[in-house]
Each structure stands twice: as C-alpha cells, then as structure tokens.
Structure 1
Amino acid sequence: MTLTHQAAARRRIGSAHPWRVPVLVAAVIAAGLAARSPITAVGPLGGRISSAYGLSPAAVGGLTTLTMVVFMLCSPFSTTLGKRFGIEVAVVIGFAAAALGAALRTLPAVGALYLGTVLVAAGLCLPNVLLPMVIRRDFPGSVGTMTAVYTTTMTVGGALGSWTALPITGAWGLHAGLVATGLVALLAAVTWTPFEREHHQPPATAQTTGRSWRTALGWQVSLFFGMQSLLFYSAVAWLVPILGAKGISTTDAATLLSLLTLIGLLPATVVPPLAARAHHQVRIAAFVGVLQIAGALGIVLLSGPALVAAVLLTGLGLGAGMPLGFAFFGLRTRDGHSAGQLAGMAQCVGYGVAALGPIIVGVAHEATGSWTVPSTFFVLVGVGSLVLGMLAGRRRLL
C-alpha cells in the first residue's frame, strides 16, 4: 500500500480504521519504553560485567561504544529496509532482533555478550530512525505532541533500565539483569504487529535519498543530535564510577543515574510542543546548552548535595536536548519521508560522534588516574550543544 499524501492518511485514520489512532499511540509509547532500556541497563552493571567476564574498564565502556558504532553503520539503511519491507514490518523486525540480542547476552561467553550487544543495537536502530517518519506522516498536525509522547516514554524506559538493573541482578544474577530489558522490546514488537499488513512506503514525490547529507542544515541537526547522544551515553557508561570517586556508593550512584534520566520527563514533555509552536527554536536550544554546561561544571567542581543538584541539572538539560533533536527531524523537513531521511543521517552522524565518548572518558581516566579530566569533557560537549543547537534552531526547511 502506497501513501500518496497526508490528506489520504487523515481520512484513513479517521474513518476507515477508527481503532488505528489509539492503537498507534499505544505502539509509539511501547516503542519509546523499549528504545533505550536494553542499553541503559549496562552502565550500572559495568563492575559486575567486568568481574564476571574479566574485562577491563575500557573494554566494558566498549560495550556502549559498540552500540554507538552499530547505530552509526545501520542508521542510513533503516529507511531502505522500511522501503523494502514496509515501515511497520521493519519496526517489528527491529524490536524482535533487540529481544533476541538481549537473550543472547545471557550466554556465559564474552563473544555472546558482544554479539548480543550488536544485535540489540542493530534492532533498535530501525524504530529509532523510522518512528520520526511515522509521527511526521500520521500526525502532521501534532508533530510536537507526538514527539513529546515518544521522547517522554523513551526517558521513562531509559530510567527504568538503569534503575532496575542492579535489583534484578541482585535477586536473580547478572544474566537476568542483562536479559530483562529484552522483554520490553518483545512487548513493543507485539504492539506493532497489528500494523504489519499496511506496508507503507514513501510517496512517489519524496525527495531523493541523500539530500540531507548535502546541506549545512542537515549537518547542524545531525551534530546537535550527536552532542545529545555523546553526553547521554558517556554518562550512562561512566557517571556511576565518576560519582563513586566523589564518595557516593555504587547503589546511590546508580540511583542518581536513573534520576538523571527520569528528571528529564518534564522537559521531554514540554519542549517538543513548545518548539513546534515557536517561530524558531534558537532560544530553546540556547537554554538547553546553558543547562548542560552548568550541570557538567557542577559535576567537575562540586561534591555532596551540590553534586547531586548538578547531576539533576544535567538531566534536565539532556531531557530537553534529546527531544529537541528528535523534534528537529519533523520541524526542519517538509514530509514524512524527508523526516526519515534526516533522522537516518542524524543518527548515523550523531551516534558516530557519540561512539567516541565512552572511549575518550575511559582512556582519559586510565591516562590520568583521575576522573577530573574525563568529567571536564562533559563541559566541552555542552558548549558544542549550545552552538550547534542555535544554528539548527533557525527557521529553515530541507
């Protein structure tokens, strides 16, 4: 079935299948819950993974880096797979692959741990790229609201992944902690199954693939998204030991990592609709950058309750920045296919940049024997977020 224009989409949703809207909203929520949790669960378990598999801290950080590399390599092909199999089928395949990868990580072998991580990342790459296309296509008048729904549930899922990893591991063992988040991905796959028969394709009039790569705007959006991913996944990989070096217990540090994600719920809910209604997003992006810089500086310089406040401030900055990055996919494009192409480019470039973060932090720590220099890296990322966000926030379309 080929989607020819947005008016046809609204007629199909409103009358032909009146059940479709609530079920599609539920499917978007399930996708958000499953989009991060298989990844965020790894950070709090880093020490246990290191002990169980005999891996160095850099090798454990490499699990997060590997995830980013897979995202980088697979993102440009996600829209191609969506075109080949149908967007909805590709989303189901992606979540099923992520669930299989999470199960593979339970095998007691280093190779299975890394191979399962690759499969989880490759699977999650499909919905991460294709969901902005679905939102832009099926909710053309509510891009900001539905982006907020998706990014808010993504925030909740990421927080639950990091928060529940240690309790589950303590009760049932490391492998249970690694596989538990795969159940959420399996649920998301089931939720998207009713849409498999639709086989939506990009319209015949869609812009050609690769246009985003040839524009300054495409690179500005992509690199801004990269700064958000770089800061988030570096924190997921290393914030727990950074806080531990300042006297916070592993359990409390893992809780703070969860709160860093969870406190982003408020900006994740508010920022996309505000961005969609604004004439431009320059001021919003500037505010995001300032929050991230202030929080990162606090992590470097402060201790005690003030350090906790700095972590939460960083969480607010990330909770605003990542949804703004996703909102740019729809706000800087003219149609669903263009949104998918920009999302594919942004996640390829962005996760390629993000892949460097855990390695840089790990190598800096091993070279200096301290967490001060690695923590300062977060400040530089905040500066990059400020500059790139203001550039991407100017009112233009691809």
Structure 2
Amino acid sequence: MKAVGKASGLGAAVTVVLIGFNLRPALSSIGPVLDEIMQGLQVSAGAASVLTTAPVLCLGLFGPFAPLLARRFGIEATILLALAIVALGTALRGAGSLAPLLGGSLLAGAGIAIGNVLMPALLKRDFPTRLPLMTGVLSMALCVGAAIAAGVTAPLRVAFGGDWAAALASWAVPVLLAMAVAGLVWRHRLGRDAAGGPARLRRVGGLWRQPLAWQVTLFMGLQSALAYSMFGWLAPILRSRGDDAVTAGLVVSVSILAQTLASLPTPLLAARLRRQSLPAVALMLLSTGSFLALLAAPLAWQWLLAISLGIGMGGAFALALLLIVQRAGDDHAAAALSGMAQSVGYSLAAGGPLVVGVLYDAMGNWSGAGVLFGVVGLGGAVAGALAGRPRVVHAR
C-alpha cells in the first residue's frame, strides 16, 4: 500500500520487518538440533540431510506459483496465505515423528518461497521513493530472523525439557504475530488497489528470453549457492581442520551476524551509483576469497575471515534483492522477475551443498569443494557485473 501519513508508513514498514523476520527461522532452526533429531528418530546422516536440503529446494520449486496466486488474489492476500502455510508447516514439526517433520518442513519451504517472491514486488509498489532503504530493511530482517533462530533453537530445546520438536514448533508463534499485524495494517486493502479496483498483478511475458533477466537470476542463484554451501559445510570444514564443535558453531554465528550488519547499508550505498557492477563484483570476490581462505589459512585467522565472509554474503544477497526491484519497470514486472530469479536461484542453491558433499566423499578432502567455490564465485561476479548495468527488463 502507498503510505498515507506517518502512521500508515510506519505500519507498512513494521509489516515488512515482521514478514521478513519470519521467512527464515523454519530454514535455520533445523541445524542446531539436527543431532538430537537423528538420535531421537534413529535416522542416518543422509536421511537427515534431506531435512535441510528439501526446504531450500522448495524455495525454487514453488516460487513460480507466487505471481499466479497474486494475479488471482492480490499481493497482500497471497502473502498472508504464504504466512499461514509457513505457520502450519512449522507447527506440524512439533508432532515429533519423521513424516510430519519432513512434511512440515516442505510446507514451510513452499510458503517461504511465495513470500520471498512477492516481497520485492510489494516494496516496488509501496515504497517507490525509498526502495534502497526498504530493500536493506527487508534483507536485514531476513538475516536477523535466520540468525536468531539458529542461535535460540538449541536453548529453546533445553527450556522445553530436551524436546526438540517443541522447540521447532515454537517458531510458528512469531509467524502468527506477523499475520495479525499484517492483517491489521492491510485490512482496508486486501484484494483492492489504491483506486478501489481489484489489486491483481498483471501477467508478464517475455522475461525468460531477456538476457538481463538471466543475469539477475544467475547473480541471485550463484550467490545463494555459495551462501547455502557455507551454512551447510563451514562448520564441518572447520572441525576437520581442528576446531571443536562449539568453536566451529561460533564462527558460523559470527559470520551470520556480519551478514546482518552488511545487509542494510549495502543497498543504500549501491543505489547511489549509476551502475551496481562494481559492488556486485567486489562482494562476490570478497565472499569467495574469504571462503577459500577458511579452507587453508591458519585457524587463528578464522574470526576475521568469518566476518569478511559474512559481509560479502550479506551484502551480495541484499544487492541481489535491490537488482530485482531496480531492473523491473513496475511491481508487475518485479513479481515476475523475482519469481524467475528466486525459482532458478534457489534451485541452484539447493544443489550447492549436495555437490560439496559428493566432492568430499569422492576426494576425501576439501580441494574439490574449493574449486567449486571458486567457479561459483567467479560466475557470480560475472553475472553481477552484467546485471549491475543501468538497464530495465523489457517485459510484456
């Protein structure tokens, strides 16, 4: 909605923060209690890895449905539907058995995919003069939600008497809070546009034949592949080099915190430039170089490298969101471009951690993964350099 007065603008901004915060805990809360899940359900490491990979794959598989639903029901109603799906999937994980745990994770991933795609379109429509700021706010909320869920889920398990299922299901509560606030703020706009007519997205065609759309898509996908490889494998890499489990986990947490700190200023600074190519290349090279250094540099450097890795990855993700809204001519094109970029992008991201594991099993060391990280990082830098040029996709 276009803000009418300060209160309305504040309500819209708070809604963006709450929704963004709740689009990551379902993904980042599994890892901290994965050992307890494996022990409690008597599943292998391979089966347990499905719990972390499948929801990310859902981000790619279900993203294309978001524009279709928004054309039928409107952006606000579709986002509320997505949050309801996330809440249901998150709550299902509290059943404490494998089938509802996996099914709930898949449901949550599907809801997150729809929300991911539509939030850039919402920003493009509601904050046309404050896009860099609100893009930074959204990306920061996403990072904060991931970081808090990663850090708080294990203590929640302890607070619930060792019940990992209750700890996972508890993340449905803030989703319900976000739904209540969004419904209140949007109560006069659900299904309606500013002129009083139906608030429907129009069908957009021709994007999949646009080179610029593919450049934005590849930048989103390759930086996501690097990020999810880090989420899944940085701690095992550090443990194989001599860190204990607690230290390796703290290094990952520091890196996630650095992502949070980098996500807000990056769009604000990048938007001041006519071209975003230089920051895109610099952030991808910083991420890649830091990740490669963590494979081989002395462990005494790991804290500094974790910070630089987080700055690079957090900034690259925020910039990817900014490029989606900047390269789209309006909110209709933004939804379509977001759907394309995130469906393809998160499909690539889901494959990254799996390929890292296959390479490690085949070679017995991290050299193959290092080559993969280098190729992904350089590819992302090239895509970012092209996507950063001041152009707009030509969509019908």
2:307 is aligned, of 291, 312, 337, to 312
Partner residue in 2 for 1:39: 27
The question of whether the paired residues in 2 share the 8 Å contact of 1:296 and 1:382 is answered with: no
Partner residue in 2 for 1:77: 65
Letter in 2 for 1:289: M
Distance in 2 between residues matched to 1:382 and 1:116, nearest whole Å: 33
Distance in 2 between residues matched to 1:77 and 1:181, nearest whole Å: 25
Unaligned segments of structure 2, at least 5 residues: none
1:336-376, CA deviations, whole angstroms, 9 ceiling, x for partnerless residues?
A: 11111100110111011111012112222333343443354
The question of whether the paired residues in 1 share the 8 Å contact of 2:83 and 2:111 is answered with: yes
Change (3 A) 1:179 1:366: farther
Letter in 2 for 1:128: N
Distance in 1 between residues matched to 2:117 and 2:334, nearest whole Å: 9
Tell me by how many angstroms 1:142 deviates: 0.8
Partner residue in 1 for 2:275: 280
Letter in 1 for 2:305: A
Partner residue in 1 for 2:287: 292
Distance in 2 between residues matched to 1:83 and 1:299, nearest whole Å: 45
Residue correspondence of structure 1 range 305-384 to structure 2 within 5 A: 305-384=300-379
The question of whether the paired residues in 2 share the 8 Å contact of 1:92 and 1:190 is answered with: no
Letter in 2 for 1:81: L
Change (3 A) 1:104 1:369: farther
Distance in 2 between residues matched to 1:383 and 1:182, nearest whole Å: 38
Change (3 A) 1:39 1:302: same
1:258 is aligned, of 253, 270, 282, to 253
The question of whether the paired residues in 2 share the 8 Å contact of 1:222 and 1:346 is answered with: yes
SS in 2 for 1:355: helix
1:216 is aligned, of 199, 204, 211, to 211
Letter in 1 for 2:363: T
Distance in 1 between residues matched to 2:187 and 2:354, nearest whole Å: 39
The question of whether the paired residues in 1 share the 8 Å contact of 2:266 and 2:318 is answered with: yes
Q: Output the TM-score relative to the length of structure 1.
A: 0.91
Letter in 2 for 1:321: A
1:19-63, CA deviations, whole angstroms, 9 ceiling, x for partnerless residues?
A: 321111000010121111210122233333332233333332222
Change (3 A) 1:311 1:57: farther
Distance in 2 between residues matched to 1:264 and 1:205, nearest whole Å: 34
Residue correspondence of structure 1 range 63-212 to structure 2 within 5 A: 63-172=51-160, 173=162, 174-194=164-184, 195-198=186-189, 199-200=191-192, 208-212=203-207
The question of whether the paired residues in 2 share the 8 Å contact of 1:88 and 1:196 is answered with: no
RMSD: 2.2
SS in 2 for 1:277: coil
Tell me by how many angstroms 1:116 deviates: 0.7
Distance in 2 between residues matched to 1:138 and 1:66, nearest whole Å: 32
The question of whether the paired residues in 1 share the 8 Å contact of 2:75 and 2:200 is answered with: no
Tell me by how many angstroms 1:65 deviates: 2.2
Distance in 2 between residues matched to 1:346 and 1:118, nearest whole Å: 20
Distance in 1 between residues matched to 2:174 and 2:371, nearest whole Å: 35
Unaligned segments of structure 1, at least 5 residues: 1-8
Deviates more, 1:250-259 or 1:370-379: 370-379
Distance in 2 between residues matched to 1:163 and 1:379, nearest whole Å: 29
Change (3 A) 1:311 1:200: farther
Change (3 A) 1:224 1:50: same
Letter in 2 for 1:176: A
SS in 2 for 1:141: coil
Change (3 A) 1:257 1:372: same
The question of whether the paired residues in 2 share the 8 Å contact of 1:226 and 1:347 is answered with: yes
Tell me by how many angstroms 1:255 deviates: 2.4
Distance in 2 between residues matched to 1:109 and 1:87, nearest whole Å: 35
The question of whether the paired residues in 2 share the 8 Å contact of 1:294 and 1:310 is answered with: no
The question of whether the paired residues in 2 share the 8 Å contact of 1:144 and 1:327 is answered with: yes
Partner residue in 1 for 2:13: 25
Letter in 2 for 1:247: G
Tell me by how many angstroms 1:175 deviates: 1.3
1:184-234, CA deviations, whole angstroms, 9 ceiling, x for partnerless residues?
A: 222222221121541146999977423221101111101110012212222
Distance in 2 between residues matched to 1:146 and 1:19, nearest whole Å: 16
SS in 2 for 1:140: coil
